[in-house]
Amino acid sequence: ETGVTQTPRHLVMGMTNKKSLKCEQHLGHNAMYWYKQSAKKPLELMFVYSLEERVENNSVPSRFSPECPNSSHLFLHLHTLQPEDSALYLCASSYGRRGNTEAFFGQGTRLTVV
């Protein structure tokens, strides 16, 4: 248990569905991240929210939409996904501007797009 909780753990969705991934942390962190992990590929940073800024990876398609209503919760809204979006989606949090501290990861959501 790392203190970062992701739900659901597994998700199967059709290409026309809309779903959301949820991430929650109560570690007092002020930065939260979404990563995509595909087989045989490096970790891909998708989005970052911190007190100071929101950072987006410009290569992430618009069918992925993040939302961060407060410093403890982070969502990833999914719509009209493609089969190549099937991957493990990891949420992480850290102390943001205190850059020498580690990131804490959730267990991930295994997404399958059919």
**Measured distance CA(51)–CA(58) in Å, rounded:** 20
Amino acid of residue 73: H
Evaluate whether 66 touches 47 at the Cβ level (below 8 Å): yes
**Measured distance CA(16)–CA(36) in Å, rounded:** 20
80-99 mask for other proteins (x: CB under 8 A)?
Answer: ----------x-x-xxxxxx
Question: Of residues 31, 46, 68, 111, which one binds other proteins by CB under 8 A?
Answer: 31
User: Does residue number 33 form part of the binding site for other proteins (CB under 8 A)?
Assistant: yes
Residues 52-71 that bind other proteins (CB under 8 A): 55
Please report how close the Cβ of residue 16 comes to other proteins at its closest, in angstroms.
28
User: Does residue number 102 form part of the binding site for other proteins (CB under 8 A)?
Assistant: yes
Q: How, if at all, do strands 73-79 and 18-25 pair?
A: antiparallel
Q: Which helix (H) or strand (E) holds 96?
A: none
Q: Which residues bind other proteins (CB under 8 A)?
A: 2, 4, 6, 31, 33, 42-43, 45, 48, 50, 55, 90, 92, 94-108, 110
